[in-house]
Structure 1
Amino acid sequence: MRTLCAEEKYLGARPGMLAVLHTWGQNLHYHPHVHALVPAGGLSFDDQRWRRPKYKNYLVPVKALSRLFRGRLVAALRQRYTNKELVLPPGTSLRNILDAAMAKDWVVYTKEPFAGPGKLLNYLGRYIKRIAISNDRLIDMSNDRVRFRYRDYADNNRSKVMDLASEEFIRRFLQHVLPAGFCKVRYYGLLAIRNRSRRLQLCHRLLGRRYQPSAKKSWIELLIEVTGQDPRLCPDCKSGHLLVVDHLIPKVGSRAPPRLIRRSDLQQLKPTTPTL
């Protein structure tokens, strides 16, 4: 994307991109792919202009993007093999595999966010802290079997029920647990972490808009936004709201029940050191 957008015939500017790794499908099979969100334009290399796409309905031609992606990926695989970082089964010819891959047309799927950027961000946001399946899709867990709902994209997106042995369900689920420290969300170009705030302010100014960073939301606001459920709502009458009266603070190094702490005492609390 950066290479094509840098060319004057396409954009002639520095683009940005937000990429989210997604490893599963509805049936929990291993299906790694990346969702990328790209602004419709870019910042000129002299930081003086916001440049809009040369084309009416797209940023860069999808055929050019597909061919460039194919070439870059195949070249990276060849380099990994040369550096002895790629292991193949005995009798396998990497050259034949990659030559066959280069002979095919690859497809990079791009489309306009028809529901709007906000909806798309919410869609991607749901996958950042979740893994594979949500609780509301689980139907039954009994007799060492797990049943859950899924959508069959190959059958007109119909809703179906899958029945798996518990071991197979766990195997599929654990495929999507990423290694510790692995970065699931990455930012590129003008959205890169370094200097992002300055560049976003500059982009807003060039577009004639006021830059207003979104305020940090509380855990209650985030929970309502994601689940639609208010944790403060009374579970009995469903209309009144619960109020925080006291906080129970566990005593460090003690297994006894925590002592009751009044809200007025919270500011006076000091860290305690366990007695050995």
Structure 2
Amino acid sequence: MQSNYEVADVLTGLGDGIEDLGLNGWQLRTLRAIHHCRTSMMGGHIDACDACGNISISYNSCRNRHCPKCQGHKREEWVQAREADLLPVPYFHVVFTLPSELNELALHRPKQVYDSLLGAAWQTLETFGKNKGLQLGMIAILHTWGQNLSLHPHLHCIVPGGGVDAKGNWHNLRADGKFLFAVKAMSKVFRAKYVGELSKKLEIDKALREELFARNWIVYAKRPFGSVKSVVEYLGRYTHKVAISNHRIQQVDEECVTFSYKDYRQNGLKKSMSLSHSEFMRRFAQHILPKRFVRIRHFGVLSSTWKRVKFKQLREYFKLKPKSTEPLKALLRRCRCCGEGNLVTIEVFGSRGPPAPYIGVCQIKSTRPVN
């Protein structure tokens, strides 16, 4: 569903007030990129279709990973690349969630808190795998938000329902493929692993440590995916999400931003929430990850090390053939006018805008003005 409003519209309405939110330089830089995305401020290029001859002007994307408008192509490219890594085995969706007691620490020391989350989740699965004599694998995707933009750090993980033994042979954890590990046992191990990992990076005071061990931590393992295709669909839904997508923004007026959200305490009931411009952007900014932080990570048999050395053996074992990424690349440059021709860039331009001779003869892509 196409939205008439964008996160960028909130930034326009907030104006210089963004400087009063107490954000760091990296957060401000990210928000400026989102504000200018696909506007004349970013420059652009002029394309011609090699079939119908249509000429169009396109403004450049910011390509920031937090931008709601820049994730579509990245998501499709990433998913297609991951298809080649999928094995014909059961896959499980496992969620590791941090307790709210760590939220304040996550705001001030996000790298340490989130690195520990990723590390502890893998150590937990690795421990259970070793108990079975198997090397497991995992793809972990960090999300830090709840539906109402509150801080809610958690990992969405894809875990094959089996692993490789010391001789390099694959074994499923169960013959029926319907069970991974007991979640209560995983939760206790995850809690201990996380506190241990975080203690290596930060000094945890005694009161916080006691609070963390007093809580029942949440690890949730969903039933296995129905097919390899459903794993790919899941990847596309979760990998390149941002804190809020533009289609959820219902209204932006002079004072408030109204957006939709699902209340999972009431079985996912869809509701609306209104926040001031400043509160909306404050909540949005707390989900901007530290510079160069890797939020999608691969572990075990799905890691880059395994792909370079041993993953080829698994592919041969399952008789899998490599898949080409060429069809996707061709599709991304397809003419929107005729749907058949390929777009060829004939000129590029900077922030001053397109050359005068092209204005009026091109189908100019609609864009949002920047103040």
TM over 0.5: yes
Corresponding residue for residue 21 of structure 1 = 142
The answer on 1:250 being equivalent to 2:371 is: no
> In the alignment, does 2:335 pair up with 1:232?
yes
The within-5 A match list for 1:65-84 is 65-80=186-201
Select the residue among 310, 325, 332 that pairs with 1:199. Answer: 310
Q: Deviations over 1:192-218 (max 9, x none)?
A: 1123154332123333x2232452553
In structure 2, distance between residues paired with 1:100 and 1:243: 61
Query: Does residue 1:95 correspond to 2:206, yes or no?
Result: yes
In the alignment, structure 1 residue 40 sits paired with structure 2 residue 154: no
- Per-residue CA shift, 1:100-125, capped at 9, x if unaligned? 53354433111224454433443343
Which of 51, 63, 71 matches 2:171?
51
How far apart are residue 58 of structure 1 and its match? 1.6
RMSD: 3.1
Aligned to 1:265: none
Contact 1:140 1:148 in 2 (8 A): yes
Contact 1:113 1:120 in 2 (8 A): no
Summarize the Cα distance change of 1:46–1:74 in structure 2 as closer, same or farther, 3 Å threshold: same
Q: Which has the higher contact order (CA 8 A, sep 6+)?
A: 2
Q: Could you tell me how far apart the structure 2 residues matched to 1:241 and 1:258 are?
A: 27
Corresponding residue SS for 2:142: strand
CA displacement 1:27-75 (0-9 Å, x = unmatched): 111111111111111111221x111114742233323322211211223
C-alpha distance after superposition, 1:8-41 (max 9, x if no partner): xxx3111110000011121111111111111111
Residue pair 1:40, 1:59 contacting (<8 A) in 2 also: yes
Q: Could you tell me which amino acid in structure 1 is paired with residue 272 of structure 2?
A: V
1:118 equivalenced with 2:238 (yes/no) = no
- 1:257 maps to a residue whose letter is P
Q: CA deviation at 1:242?
A: 6.4
Identity within the alignment, % = 32
1:210-265 Cα offsets, whole Å, 9 max, x none, are 23245255356469xxxxxxx6343xxxxx4364576332379x9883999xxxxx
User: Kindly tell me: are residues 191 and 214 of structure 1, through their superposed partners in 2, closer, same or farther at Cα, counting changes over 3 Å?
Assistant: farther
For 1:153 and 1:190, locate their aligned partners in 2 and report how far apart those are by CA, in whole Å. 34
Alpha carbons of structure 1 residues 244 and 6: separation in structure 2 relative to 1, 3 Å: closer
- In the alignment, structure 1 residue 86 sits paired with structure 2 residue 203: yes
d(CA) in 2 for partners of 1:114, 1:246: 40
Cα 1:77–1:112, aligned 2, differ >3 Å: closer, same or farther? Answer: same
Q: Secondary structure, in 3 states, of the residue corresponding to 2:221? A: coil
Query: Any idea what SS the aligned residue of 1:109 has?
Result: strand
Structure 1: distance between partners of 2:323 and 2:221: 28
Q: Which amino acid aligns with 1:247?
A: T
Distance (whole Å) between structure 1 residues aligned to residue 309 and residue 274 of structure 2: 51
Query: CA contact under 8 A between 1:251 and 1:258: conserved in structure 2?
Result: no
Tell me the equivalent position of 1:186. Answer: 297
Name the amino acid aligned to 1:6: K
Cα distance in 2 between the residues matched to 1:147 and 1:255: 33
Q: 2:274 maps to which residue?
A: 163
What amino acid does structure 1 have at the position aligned with 2:267?
A: N
**Aligned counterparts of 1:97 and 1:216: Cα–Cα separation in 2:** 52
> Given residue 3 of structure 1, which amino acid in structure 2 is its aligned partner?
T
Using the size of structure 1 for normalisation, the TM-score is: 0.72
CA pair 146-129 structure 1, distance change in 2 beyond 3 A: same
Structure 1 residues 108 and 249: alpha-carbon distance in aligned structure 2, compared to 1, 3 A threshold: same
Q: Which has the larger radius of gyration?
A: 1
Contact 2:257 2:280 in 1 (8 A): yes
* Aligned partners of 1:248 and 1:258 also within 8 Å: no
CA distance in 2, matches of 1:136, 1:18: 27
Q: 1:189 to 1:221 in 2, by over 3 A?
A: same
Q: Give the paired residue count.
A: 233
8 Å contact from structure 2 (residues 136, 162) kept in 1: yes
C-alpha contact (below 8 Å) 1:17/1:188 kept by paired residues: yes
Equivalent residue, structure 2, for 1:139: 250
